Amino acid sequence: MIQMVLLPIMTYAAVAWGYVSKTLNKRLQAQQNIALRETVDAPWLYSKV
């Protein structure tokens, strides 16, 4: 499902994002990580137990 639905949305216009500053890229990556965690209902941290 992720490859069929979410991946095309997240990679749309990825070439345009390749020219942004490192700071903006980190902020964008953080927002994508948050959205993906919420989408798949993943916990924020994993226990090493």
pLDDT tens column, 6-38: 777 777 767 777 788 889 889 988 888 888 888
* Residue 44, C-beta contacts closer than 8 angstroms, at least 6 positions apart: 37
Q: In this predicted structure, what is the pLDDT of residue 1?
A: 60
Q: Is the pLDDT of residue 48 over 70?
A: no
Contact 37, 44 (CB under 8 A): yes
Question: From CA 21, how far away is CA 25, in angstroms rounded?
Answer: 6
- pLDDT of amino acid 41: 84
The answer to whether 18 touches 29, Cβ cutoff 8 Å, is no
